[in-house]
């Protein structure tokens, strides 16, 4: 199985979705430089709970969980498909680690997920975006491999 590198990408301002500038250019360069993943797993700091949370949505909605930005930002969508089978695999691994995760079958992509993914993979054709609570769910190494890319928000912007 192919083990892809984990990426540590700050989501930055939600406005980068409308005005990508140099951030968009760098993410496009990264997209060209790295092998295409079969799925993406994102640890989002915007998911907090008492237990690790994993999204199992088939069609995760785009969550506009920010306020005070121009109206066009709230019209953007990131319609990437979910990956319920991968979510189940992550759940099993977290359970094996004794972490008692919770599967949310409807959780969508918060701005920490969809803003950078929209720039990195604008076609929204890579399944996943399975968001997990990074504070409790980062023993993700056992799930890595098989062409799955992990992306974690950078500490400077997310914690």
DSSP annotation of 89 reads: H
Q: Flag whether pLDDT at 156 surpasses 60.
A: no
Measure the CA–CA gap between 113 and 75, rounded to whole angstroms: 16
* Cα-based torsion angle of the residue sequence 120, 79, 123, 41 in order, rounded to the nearest 10 degrees: 40
What's the domain count of the chain?
Answer: 1
Question: What range defines the domain where residue 46 resides?
Answer: 7-158
Q: Which tens digits make up the pLDDT trace of 107-144?
A: 899 998 899 999 999 999 999 866 666 555 455 445 55
User: End-to-end distance of the chain based on CA atoms, in angstroms?
Assistant: 32
Q: Flag whether pLDDT at 159 surpasses 50.
A: no
The residue with greater pLDDT, 147 or 64, is 64
Q: Which tens digits make up the pLDDT trace of 63-117?
A: 999 999 999 999 999 999 999 998 998 888 888 888 888 899 998 999 988 999 9
Helix (H, G, I), strand (E, B) or coil at 135: coil
Q: For the domain that residue 143 is a member of, what is the CATH number?
A: 3.40.830.10
């Amino acid at each position: 199985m192919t083990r892809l590198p984990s990426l540590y990408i700050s989501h930055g301002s939600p406005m980068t979705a409308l005005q990508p500038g140099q951030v968009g250019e760098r993410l496009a360069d990264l997209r060209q430089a790295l092998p295409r993943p079969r799925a993406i797993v994102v640890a989002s700091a915007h998911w907090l709970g008492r237990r690790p949370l994993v999204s199992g949505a088939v069609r995760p909605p785009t969550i506009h969980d920010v306020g005070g930005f121009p109206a066009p930002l709230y019209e953007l969508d990131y319609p990437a498909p979910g990956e319920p089978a991968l979510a189940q695999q992550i759940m099993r691994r977290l359970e094996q680690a004794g972490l008692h995760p919770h599967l949310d079958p409807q959780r969508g992509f918060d701005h920490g997920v969809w803003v950078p993914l929209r720039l990195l993979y604008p076609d929204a054709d890579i399944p996943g975006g399975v968001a997990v609570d990074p504070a409790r769910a980062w023993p993700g190494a056992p799930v890595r491999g098989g062409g799955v890319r992990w992306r974690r928000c950078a500490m400077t912007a997310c914690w």
